[in-house]
């Protein structure tokens, strides 16, 4: 028999709560199971995320709606001429990718100071992307419905007067 001081305790850790899988039932924290602890950890993470989302909520909605409006204005103005389509699409990609790079590469000390502003522009970017997607979908649906003639009908209510 191996002496107690020479025994190696093998433990397998759970990724959810960092507890050991093979621990005896008497060593559980507060007498709860791993499933209950995992659900409690998920609940705590979810509640902190909701609190973070509630912070500056009106400002976030404002920037999102401004991005949506800018997308509609952008698509309307550029669509008038049709000459600048490639250049404007390139400009939109540069703006979106630039904001994304600033948002997810905040290791520079200067960027940490303006993190709130970058986050606000990230919401603007989300509104811009969603607005451009919906405008493209809207224009394509106009083409599809125009071909089948589903909504193209005329009502002549006053043929006598003409």
Place of tokens 């992307």: 129
Digitized pLDDT (tens) for each residue of the chain, 162 residues in all? 555 555 555 555 545 445 545 444 445 456 689 999 999 999 999 999 999 888 889 999 999 999 999 988 888 887 677 777 777 788 888 988 988 888 887 667 777 778 888 888 999 999 999 998 888 777 677 677 666 666 666 666 666 665
Domain identity same for 23 and 66: no
Domain identity same for 34 and 73: no
Picking from 113, 80, 111, the residue whose alpha carbon sits closest to that of residue 98 is: 111
Domain identity same for 108 and 36: no
User: What pLDDT sits at residue 103?
Assistant: 83
The distance of Cα 113 from the centroid of its chain, to the nearest Å, equals: 23
Domain identity same for 92 and 120: yes
Q: How far apart (Å, rounded) are the C-alpha atoms in residues 74 and 118? A: 21
Domain identity same for 86 and 23: no
Total domains present in the chain: 2
User: What pLDDT sits at residue 78?
Assistant: 76
Residue 111 in any domain: the answer is: yes
User: What pLDDT sits at residue 148?
Assistant: 67
Domain identity same for 139 and 117: yes
- Which domain does 40 fall in, by range? 4-46
Domain identity same for 142 and 112: yes
Domain identity same for 61 and 123: yes
Domain identity same for 9 and 60: no
Global pTM reads 0.59
Residue 161 in any domain: the answer is: no
Picking from 130, 145, 143, 141, the residue whose alpha carbon sits closest to that of residue 75 is: 130
């Amino acid at each position: 028999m191996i002496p107690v001081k020479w025994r190696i305790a093998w433990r397998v850790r759970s990724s959810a709560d960092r507890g050991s899988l093979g621990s005896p039932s008497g060593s559980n924290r507060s007498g709860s199971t791993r499933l209950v602890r995992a659900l409690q950890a998920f609940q705590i993470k979810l509640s902190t995320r909701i609190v973070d989302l509630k912070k500056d909520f009106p400002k976030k909605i404002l920037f999102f709606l401004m991005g949506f409006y800018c997308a509609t204005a952008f698509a309307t103005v550029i669509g008038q001429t049709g000459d600048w389509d490639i250049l404007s699409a390139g400009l939109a990609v540069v703006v979106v990718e630039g904001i994304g790079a600033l948002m997810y590469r905040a290791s520079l000390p200067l960027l940490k100071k303006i993190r709130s502003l970058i986050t606000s522009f990230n919401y603007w970017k989300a509104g811009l992307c969603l607005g451009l997607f919906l405008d493209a979908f809207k224009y394509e649906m106009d083409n599809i419905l125009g071909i089948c003639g589903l909504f193209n009908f005329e009502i002549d209510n006053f043929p006598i007067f003409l």
